[in-house]
Amino acid sequence: MSGRVGVVVFPGSNCEHDVVEAIEGLGGDAELVWHGARSVAQVDALVLPGGFAHGDYLRPGAIARFSPVMDAVRSFAADGGLVLGVCNGFQVLTEAGMLPGALQKNRHLRFLCTTVSVRIERSRSFISRLARPGTVLRLPINHFEGNYTCEPETLAELRAEERIVARYCDNPNGSIDDIAGITNEAGNVVGLMPHPERAYDALLGSSDGAILLRTMVEPPRGRSRAATAEAGATPGPAGSRLV
């Protein structure tokens, strides 16, 4: 049975349709979820996509963390639901306290728009369950504040608890320990700076991201419960499919 994925849309998000296209292209079902929603649909997974939520004012994710939908995202995750934050979505998850650490300005203070090599690490995360540790993927990055940082104690915990999902093979932004993605203690919340949705099909130059996204299209058993009941339509931008 194909997974049903909710894609959260904040004002300023600009990668939500890329995620929808990728999920549907891999055989899943995807629906947009407006940031004002106070509950989420019965989905198998949620994605917080890239972009500039609320214009990145104050700092990336600082305002988005207060969006009504984030309470539903927290409840969904607490109930075992799968949550992936990509790029700006990763920043939102750290600001919301769902993942440790923070994303600061890139080492050279430049916006990065390129393709990088990322090595999958042995971790407890759901996103890498189909990829063998050591697998190297070619994935796009597009960020100015993708430099992951955390306290030494937090880094020690991430290492000891196998919560580092992926590392850059050639660190482009100064992230501590070459970290490109991490997971929470339960392994069901993941933050990833590279964009797998932009590399799900060979026509895009790489299909390496597909192995990560398929973990939501084909979710493991016992991960299909949302934290709240489906609650009809919520107003959103014209022309979009929202729940």
- Catalytic positions, please? 87, 195, 197
How far apart CA 9 and CA 30 sit, in angstroms, is 12
Residue 209: CB atoms within 10 A of its CB come to 26
Q: What's the rounded Cα separation, in Å, for the pair 152 and 138? A: 29
Structure tokens at 218: 């084909």
User: What's the CA gap between 205 and 138, in Å, rounded?
Assistant: 9
**Contact in structure between 90 and 100 (CB atoms under 8 Å):** no
Pairing of strands 179-183, 189-192: antiparallel
Which of 30, 91, 39, 1 is closest to 213 using CA atoms?
30
